[in-house]
């Protein structure tokens, strides 16, 4: 989309004549009017970005490799223009006709973001829809794909509230200090995301069980109801790994407590779940009830750990427990205090933690959040003491940072699993995410795929929706279709609100239950492939689910596909996201290079499930049908299992290749090389394999069979 000239009143556009080169085709631009001002810290990055002399040499003026270089196609000079408009900092970047824009974090609506506007201010947006401009997370990042398949990315280095306007090129506007603007150029979207991951880090490997299906409701109470749900899954032979405890397990909504009547023995409940192959994930919110008889509150008050009001008193706002104080997670000593609260909490056998309401959501606050003039006593690492307006968008990110670090200290031998509703660019280093309080309708089913894809394009690979929809009542058709799609997204959890009808896989009759069982059997049979993709994401930053244009970024017909996605490089998922009887013309298998991909499945035929296709030349590893991931670990050495099937789709030359990653399924031995990356090669009608990397020994008893597709 070309950008016409713009003017804002009498504010002229300013251009940085000397960007700072940070690496090959990687540059930071500043508004020359404010270039003398120090750049505030930007917590999205793993470490502060430093100038690169090698980058400067490689990107000399006029080079075709330059970020924003003059030898790009006409109309695509990416050098930002700057202006100050009505107290805000405005940045404009010109794009070219044929450029497709994506990412921008957690956004509702189509995959292609051209023509869209979003507001980056983390908000409790219950009831959002495809027209909502503000959601729970903020990612000041745009990814562009050119007509020639090359790619570019732009980061706005601000934690303040911002806007991204993609109606004519790329226009950022933000409050606060003048931001840096980092521009990245690469030859493909995959290469571009590799650079983003170098800057913002990659997702740590989760425990294997976190890849299984997870069942939640607001709320399963009392504890006997939790046991009942667990028994039903096993009795009905529907695969599941995790049961979630929402806020009603607490004593009067006091975090880190248990209701003595409804959950009198959480350790016994955990033991009972573990005995059946389940894990338990429990919710913790940031709002701490103001109660002088509540130890968490008095510790926080006496330690000075809470956010202050503008006048210096403790900031208070109303959430589920009533009046609450809020930890100041911008302080290292507060993060340590908060993290240490998990020592006793997870000693009850708790396996994972869910941080919710952490925008922060405050019922009686402006915009359902904290006042901008509240005060944070932030550490220099984040920028020092300042008001909430500066730190609002990273409040949830710093909360899950504290949570993850605390769990690591309390249980250093296990990989933490943390889920968060609110986050910021780079926050994938600390937590997985879901797409918030969606609604049980077909619009939100359709939103599930592009929302997950754009988050993946923003560096957050471990993502999925509330399967079936959180608010409202699903029916059998909607729930079955949603389970089929959700079971193939990275984070697979069903969740629903209190007032809704039951939303378990068996709640809508036998036909729907069968679809759900097959959908989840499919996920678990594909677990070796899923786990390999999680490893790849943790190493390279590539999303686990990818837009179909990753198969051929130069094909414009693939740029707008919302109903299909790639699972890694080798599997195409094509979903029907329309109600029964309302087939859409765009609902079929995409064409182009994908036309030759071959249909396959690993479960019995089921018309309600998305269609699967394998890339010619690929080998996809699959495992046996299991009820939970502990059965995989029990059957082999770590994730290797004793049975493995290789789906082989030879290309026009009769060749195929694939890899499979295995490790212990938990712990950190993989960081010391205790894993096995196995390469499989099919050629001349024969299969060969070798361990390419890692010191883990594969079981000699493993049975590997080959199935041609």
Decide if 8 contacts 90 (C-beta within 8 A).
yes
Decide if 242 contacts 279 (C-beta within 8 A).
yes
359 given a catalytic annotation: yes
**Among 185, 259, 359, 513, the one annotated catalytic:** 359
CA distances from 356 to 184, 209, 279, 420, 498 (A): 33, 21, 19, 6, 16
| Cβ-based neighbour number of residue 690 at 10 Å | 9
Who contacts 620 (Cβ-Cβ below 8 Å, separation ≥6)? 526, 529, 570, 571, 614, 646, 647, 649, 658
Decide if 687 contacts 646 (C-beta within 8 A).
yes
**Chain center to CA of 190:** 17
Decide if 568 contacts 529 (C-beta within 8 A).
yes
266-305 core/surface letters (b: 16 or more CB in 10 A; e: else): beebbebbeebbbbbbbbbbbbbbbbeebebbeebbeeeb
Q: How far apart are CA 26 and CA 102, in angstroms?
A: 19
Helix/strand/coil (H/E/C) assignment for every residue in 32-61: CCCCCCCCCCCCCCCCCCCCCHHHHHHCCC
Who contacts 161 (Cβ-Cβ below 8 Å, separation ≥6)? 119, 120, 121, 174, 175, 389, 392, 393
379 given a catalytic annotation: no
Packing angle of the helix pair 527-540, 189-200 (nearest 10 deg): 70
Who contacts 572 (Cβ-Cβ below 8 Å, separation ≥6)? 548, 551, 564, 565, 566, 589, 590, 594, 597, 612, 613, 614, 615
| Cβ-based neighbour number of residue 257 at 10 Å | 17
Who contacts 475 (Cβ-Cβ below 8 Å, separation ≥6)? 508
Nearest Cα neighbor of 664 from 654, 653, 672 is 672
Identify the helix (H) or strand (E) that includes residue 173: strand 170-174
Take residue 407 and report the two structure tokens written for it: 């769990």
Bridge partners of residue 119, in order along the sequence: 163
Decide if 614 contacts 603 (C-beta within 8 A).
no
Phi, psi of 418 (to 5 degrees): -130, 135
Decide if 621 contacts 614 (C-beta within 8 A).
no
Q: How far apart are CA 114 and CA 329, in angstroms?
A: 35
**Among 437, 504, 513, 576, the one annotated catalytic:** 437
Tracing tokens 């405005």 back to the chain, one arrives at: 90
**Among 24, 157, 328, 356, the one annotated catalytic:** 356
Nearest Cα neighbor of 548 from 445, 456, 657 is 456
Take residue 331 and report the two structure tokens written for it: 């302080």
Q: How far apart are CA 190 and CA 540, in angstroms?
A: 9
Bridge partners of residue 621, in order along the sequence: 646
Pairing of strands 151-157, 180-186: antiparallel
Q: How far apart are CA 315 and CA 324, in angstroms?
A: 8
Take residue 173 and report the two structure tokens written for it: 């506007």
356 given a catalytic annotation: yes
| Cβ-based neighbour number of residue 70 at 10 Å | 11
Q: How far apart are CA 544 and CA 530, in angstroms?
A: 8
> Which residue numbers are catalytic?
356, 359, 437
């Amino acid at each position: 989309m070309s950008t016409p000239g713009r003017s804002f009143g009498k504010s002229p556009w300013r251009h940085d004549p000397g960007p700072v080169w940070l690496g090959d085709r990687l540059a930071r631009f500043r508004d020359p009017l404010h270039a003398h001002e120090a750049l505030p810290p930007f917590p999205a990055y793993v470490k502060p970005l430093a100038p690169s002399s090698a980058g400067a040499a490689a990107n000399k003026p006029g080079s075709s490799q330059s970020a924003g270089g003059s030898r790009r196609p006409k109309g695509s000079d990416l050098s930002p223009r700057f202006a100050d408009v009505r107290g805000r900092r405005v940045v404009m970047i010109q794009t070219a006709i044929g450029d497709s824009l994506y990412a921008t974090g957690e956004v509702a609506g189509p995959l292609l973001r051209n023509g869209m506007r979003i507001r980056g201010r983390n908000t409790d947006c219950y009831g959002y829809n495809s027209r909502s401009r503000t959601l729970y997370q903020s990612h000041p990042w745009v990814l562009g794909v050119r007509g020639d398949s090359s790619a570019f990315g732009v980061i706005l280095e601000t934690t303040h509230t911002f806007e991204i306007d993609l109606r004519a090129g790329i226009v950022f506007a933000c409050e606060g200090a003048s931001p840096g603007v980092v521009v990245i150029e690469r030859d493909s979207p995959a290469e571009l995301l590799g650079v983003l991951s170098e800057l913002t880090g990659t997702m740590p490997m989760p425990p294997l069980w976190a890849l299984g299906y997870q069942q939640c409701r607001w709320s399963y109470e009392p504890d006997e109801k939790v046991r009942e749900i667990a028994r039903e899954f096993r009795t009905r032979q529907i695969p599941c790994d995790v049961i979630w405890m929402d806020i009603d397990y607490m004593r009067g909504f006091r975090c880190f407590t248990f209701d003595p009547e409804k959950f009198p023995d959480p350790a016994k409940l955990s033991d009972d779940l573990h005995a059946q192959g389940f894990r338990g994930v429990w919710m913790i919110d940031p709002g701490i009830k103001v109660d002088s008889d509540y130890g968490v509150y008095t510790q926080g008050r006496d330690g000075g750990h809470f956010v202050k009001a503008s006048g210096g008193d403790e900031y208070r706002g109303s959430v589920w427990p009533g009046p609450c104080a809020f930890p100041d997670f911008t302080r290292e000593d507060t993060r340590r205090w908060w993290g240490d609260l998990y020592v006793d909490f997870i000693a009850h056998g708790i396996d994972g933690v869910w941080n919710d309401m952490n925008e922060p959501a405050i019922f009686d606050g402006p915009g359902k959040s904290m006042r901008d003039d509240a005060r944070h006593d932030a550490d220099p690492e984040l920028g020092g003491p300042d008001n909430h307006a500066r730190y609002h968008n990273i409040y949830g990110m710093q909360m899950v940072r504290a949570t993850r670090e605390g769990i690591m200290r309390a249980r250093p031998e296990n990989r933490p699993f943390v889920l968060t509703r609110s986050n910021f660019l780079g926050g994938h280093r600390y937590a997985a995410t879901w797409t918030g309080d969606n609604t049980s309708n077909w619009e939100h089913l359709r939103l599930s795929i592009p929302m997950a894809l754009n988050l993946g394009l923003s560096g957050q690979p471990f993502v999925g929706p509330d399967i079936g929809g959180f608010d409202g009542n699903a029916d059998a058709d909607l729930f079955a279709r949603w389970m089929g799609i959700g079971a193939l997204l990275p984070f697979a959890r069903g969740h629903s609100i209190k007032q809704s009808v039951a939303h378990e896989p068996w709640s809508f009759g036998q036909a729907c239950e069968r679809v759900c069982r097959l959908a989840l059997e499919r996920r678990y049979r594909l677990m070796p492939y899923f786990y390999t993709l999680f490893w790849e994401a943790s190493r390279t930053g590539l999303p686990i689910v990818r837009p179909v244009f990753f198969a051929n970024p130069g094909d414009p017909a693939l740029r707008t596909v919302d109903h299909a996605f790639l699972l890694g490089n080798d599997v195409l998922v094509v979903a029907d996201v329309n109600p029964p009887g309302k087939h859409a013309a765009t609902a079929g298998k995409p064409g182009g290079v994908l036309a030759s991909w071959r249909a396959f499945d690993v479960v019995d035929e089921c018309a309600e499930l998305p269609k699967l296709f394998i890339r010619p030349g690929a080998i996809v590893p699959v495992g046996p049908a299991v009820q939970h991931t502990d059965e995989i670990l029990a059957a082999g050495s770590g994730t290797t299992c004793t049975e493995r099937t290789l789906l082989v789709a030879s290309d026009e030359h009769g060749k195929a290749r694939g890899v499979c990653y295995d490790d212990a399924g938990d712990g950190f031995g993989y960081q010391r090389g205790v894993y096995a990356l196995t390469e499989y090669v099919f050629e001349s009608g024969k299969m060969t394999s070798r361990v390419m990397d890692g010191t883990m020994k594969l079981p000699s008893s493993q049975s590997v069979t080959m199935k041609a597709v």
